[in-house]
Amino acid sequence: MPSSDTLTRAAVVLCVVGLLLLLPILSSIRASFVGFYMLGSLLLLVSITLYVVAVVRELRRGGAL
Amino acid sequence: MSAWSVWAMATPEPPHGATLGGALEVVALGCIGVAVLGLLLVEFVFKSRMARSTYRWTLLLGLFVLPGVALLGTTGHMFESMKTVEACQSCHVMNPFVGDMHDPRSATLAARHYRSGAIPDKQCYACHTGYGIFGTVEAKRDGLRHWLLYVTDTWKEPITYKGTYPNANCLACHATAPIFTRVDSHKALGTQLANDEMSCFTCHGLPHPARPTRASTRVTASQ
């Protein structure tokens, strides 16, 4: 199981990629851009999940926010 | 009179000023910019120099709050932008329908509505949403289904409308308009129209060109 720091870094990277994937739909409405929007939303969800897992693991080890 | 002049007169002007979609776009862009920049700086530049608690709280903002607002703004912007004719035409499948609407000689209901200038920018959506309580949700569900058919190249030629078109969609705009209420036949048929026992299209013609006169929506290698 990866460490909390690795999970957090993965969450940050996925979040950045997810946010960048939201950009095309803001510039123009195209069928492919709708796909990017959906993928971006999914990555944001995964990123948040990874971060929550990382924080919960750290808290269970006795760490603090 | 040149063809361009006829076209210019038949095409209503785009709306001016601030729109909800435009405002949501700015909000989403701002949040995405701040979140991306902030996350990269915090994670890859300042992490070692920050207190653990500051780092966690900053990430909470960068991973939850800003992306949440950005996602809401993007979704709202998309929902608003998807109502425009331009959005419908971004799938080339819609070209025969939008092309007819722009045709100054067309007598279809869609073209006549477009020429009147009442709802030019969101015309497709104005007629293709249900005016009931779940109308927008149903329109978005249908839009998603159409998008899936388009991107997977699985739509069937010719495109047909399989649902029913309630008169309520027409009456949502026309019921109280003088141009509708002053017509004697509308008064005489009021009950039948309200109960969908008779369609508005019976007298007013088809909303779009009939299938035999419509260009194919599927682009083939020979075209």
Under the banding of pLDDT at 50, 70 and 90, the label for residue B32 is very high
Distance of CA B209 to the CA centre of its chain: 20
* ipTM exceeds 0.90: no
Q: How far is B116 from chain A (nearest CA, A)?
A: 26
Domain boundary assignment for chain B: 21-82, 92-213
**Distances in whole angstroms, Cα of residue B171 to Cα of each of A15, B178, B193, B205:** 46, 12, 9, 16
Instruction: Assess B32–A contact: CB distance below 8 Å, yes or no.
Output: yes
In whole angstroms, give the CA distance from residue A4 to residue B9. 64
Under the banding of pLDDT at 50, 70 and 90, the label for residue B133 is confident
Instruction: Assess B53–A contact: CB distance below 8 Å, yes or no.
Output: yes
Under the banding of pLDDT at 50, 70 and 90, the label for residue A37 is very high
Using CB atoms, pick whichever of B63, B82, B150 lies closest to residue A11: B63
User: What's this model's pTM, rounded to 2 decimal places?
Assistant: 0.78
Q: Do A18 and B81 make contact, defined as CB atoms within 8 angstroms?
A: no
In whole angstroms, give the CA distance from residue B200 to residue B165. 9
From A10, which residue of chain B is nearest by alpha-carbon distance? Answer: B43
Q: How far is A3 from chain B (nearest CA, A)?
A: 15
Q: Do B53 and A65 make contact, defined as CB atoms within 8 angstroms?
A: yes
Instruction: Assess B7–A contact: CB distance below 8 Å, yes or no.
Output: no
Lowest mean pLDDT among A11-15, B66-70, B98-102, B208-212: B208-212
Domain boundary assignment for chain A: 4-62
Above 60 in pLDDT, residue B182? Answer: yes
Under the banding of pLDDT at 50, 70 and 90, the label for residue B223 is very low
Under the banding of pLDDT at 50, 70 and 90, the label for residue B111 is very high
Can you tell me the mean pLDDT for B170-199? 90
Q: What share of chain A is helix, strand, coil (3-state, %, to 5)?
A: 85, 0, 15
> Is B176 buried (19+), middle (13-18) or exposed (0-12) by CB count in 10 A?
exposed
| Cβ-Cβ contacts under 8 Å, A15 against chain B | 35, 39, 62-63, 67
In whole angstroms, give the CA distance from residue A15 to residue A19. 6
Q: Do A29 and B40 make contact, defined as CB atoms within 8 angstroms?
A: no
Can you tell me the mean pLDDT for B143-149? 90
Average pLDDT, chain B: 85
